[in-house]
Amino acid sequence: MKKLAVIDVGSNTTRMVVVNLYDNGSYRIVDELKEPVRLISDMTQDNIIRPRRIQQLIKTLQMFKRLCTANEITDIIPVLTAAVRRAANQRSLLDEVYAATGINLTLLTGEQEAIYVYQGVINTMDIDAGVIMDIGGGTVELVHFEKRQVKNLACLPFGTVTLTEQFGLHDKVQPEQMDAIEEFIAAQFDELPWLQNISNLPLIGVGGSFRNVGKVLRKKKKYSLDIAHNYFMTEKEVNLVYEGVKKLDLDGRMKIKGLSNERADIFLAALAAMTSLIKRINSSDVYVSCTGMREGIIFEHIDPQLAVKPTPNVLDFSLRNLSGQYNENVEHAERVTQLAVSMFEQLRQLHKLPNSYLRLIRTAGMLHDIGQRIKYYDHHKHTFYMMINGNLYGLNHRDRLMASFIAAFHRKEEMKKDYIKYGDIINGADIDIINKLGVLIRIAESFDRCMSGVITGVSCDILGDSVIVKTAATADASLEIKDALTSGNIFKKAYGKNLVIL
């Protein structure tokens, strides 16, 4: 195993993520540090970054380097984004940082920054076409993609910090101030001819401001899942947050549930930029992405091919990574998945579900045992928790929750009592589907009880009030069949048929 640190010096925040890179090709983010350095805040009129900001950056980087040294991390990728591109003292800042810390910051171009953002998003979200917006402190990156390939991109010279300072949005604002900022942002968008031809595409938001909008809405709705990535918001919901924040002074903003106090002063500027783009591209659907530039750098480091072409299947890419990092018995998981898929396909007459649900079976089958990483006993509960809270990409929140329940079903039914907790996301019809697919995972795992692949396939016949499952085996499968028959009552509840296994 190797360790990698990615340092991102932004206009507003300086962050470092630490990543474990495992020998099997999987990865896991294991630590993160961040400091609101606000490097370009109060920059002079002739674009000089002030000495106290540079010293604060140096102190932050020295702190990051101590953590790297303590954890024996020698592979460090330090990048500098929008903060210094327009600074007149760019060269002296880089030299001063290197002399004080030994860290040689790489200054990314706006295009490089946008491409890394795209790589971070496209490999973690199953969306074919859209517009990505990354709002930083000093710039906004826009990426338009179709068929998962970049069509247009831009780096605009404004951000939350610069807008807040330019239009005086730190505290209580007047209507004319908001008119001015909206006119300014609209004029910036007018400079992008390709943006005028886009309509009705989803907007994918990257950065802390988008995450905060999502968190504010989740708090307001009492949303049952505490998951930020791939959280869906409507255009109307984002606009309502904007209209509400316009009326508040700084103290009022700091009392908003879900809004970080560190972002309270710049939140209004971020919302102005978001809503302006939503209006410009006539987008009704907005998604939050918790992955962006740093993840794009990580993906390129793991597999340089991802810089050329994104993964063709986000869910499979994520499942391979999670299976690898938790050292799961992948062969057993694949056999369980294969057997469950086979039964699903042969029982279409009973469940009447479309092929889209195969993704849930595949996810549950591949991850059903990852909870054993914590403890064998009650590992179905641990599996559920890890699937809900881990970096499982490629599913929306409803499908992710359903797949987690299906995976947990393989051991006991006791998690049924938790269905009601998530009533805002799943309904009675979804619960019926969970029961139908969960029992297939449960039977499939029984068919590989010895984890040796004794049962290689099944054929299912629906005869009267029974489903007869015939097993193809390479050796004595009496243990596997006996174990599978313990699911007979659950199967009958789900499908209304007796289970017969031969």
pLDDT at res. 11: 83
- Judged against a pLDDT cut of 90, whether residue 386 lies above it is answered with yes
Average pLDDT rounded to a whole number, residues 342-367: 97
| pLDDT tier, 412 (very low <50, low <70, confident <90, very high otherwise) | low
- Judged against a pLDDT cut of 70, whether residue 237 lies above it is answered with yes
pLDDT at res. 24: 87
Q: Which residues contact 273 (CB under 8 A, 6 or more apart)?
A: 133, 135, 140, 158, 160, 163, 185
- Judged against a pLDDT cut of 70, whether residue 235 lies above it is answered with yes
Q: Write out pLDDT tens, residues 184-215.
A: 999 999 999 999 999 999 999 999 999 999 99
Average pLDDT rounded to a whole number, residues 82-91: 82
DSSP state of 201: P
Write down the residue that tokens 């659907």 correspond to: 285
- CA-nearest of 139, 140, 117, 161 to 12 is 161
Alpha-carbon separation of residue 192 from 115, 187, 188, 372 (angstroms): 17, 9, 8, 52
Average pLDDT rounded to a whole number, residues 251-265: 96
Architecture of domain 314-501: Orthogonal Bundle (1.10)
Q: What homologous superfamily does CATH list for 111-295? A: Exopolyphosphatase. Domain 2 (3.30.420.150)
pLDDT at res. 347: 98
Domain ranges for the chain, please list them: 2-108, 111-295, 314-501
Q: Is 216 exposed, middle or buried (CB count within 10 Å of its CB: 0-12, 13-18, 19+)?
A: buried
Query: What percentage of the chain exceeds 90 in pLDDT?
Result: 86
Q: Of the ranges 41-50, 61-70, 243-252, 279-288, which one carries the lowest mean pLDDT score?
A: 41-50
Q: Of the ranges 137-141, 328-332, 365-369, 490-494, which one carries the lowest mean pLDDT score?
A: 328-332
List, edge to edge, every strand of the sheet that includes 2-9.
27-35, 14-21, 2-9, 75-80, 106-107
Q: Write out pLDDT tens, residues 468-491.
A: 999 999 999 999 999 999 999 999
Residue 200, phi-psi category: left (phi > 0), alpha (psi -120 to 50), beta (remainder):
left
Total number of residues shown for the chain: 502
- Judged against a pLDDT cut of 70, whether residue 369 lies above it is answered with yes
Average pLDDT rounded to a whole number, residues 210-221: 97
pLDDT at res. 414: 59
| pLDDT tier, 82 (very low <50, low <70, confident <90, very high otherwise) | confident
* pTM over the 0.85 mark: yes
Separation of CA 317 from chain center = 13
> Are 2-108 and 111-295 in the same CATH fold?
yes
- Judged against a pLDDT cut of 70, whether residue 413 lies above it is answered with no
Residue 68, phi-psi category: left (phi > 0), alpha (psi -120 to 50), beta (remainder):
alpha
CATH 3.30.70.270 for domain 2-108: no
**Degrees to nearest 5, angle at CA 494 with 489 and 497:** 65
Give me the chain's average pLDDT, please.
Answer: 94
Q: Write out pLDDT tens, residues 140-187.
A: 999 999 999 999 999 999 999 999 999 999 999 999 999 999 999 999
3-state secondary structure of 82: helix
pLDDT at res. 42: 81
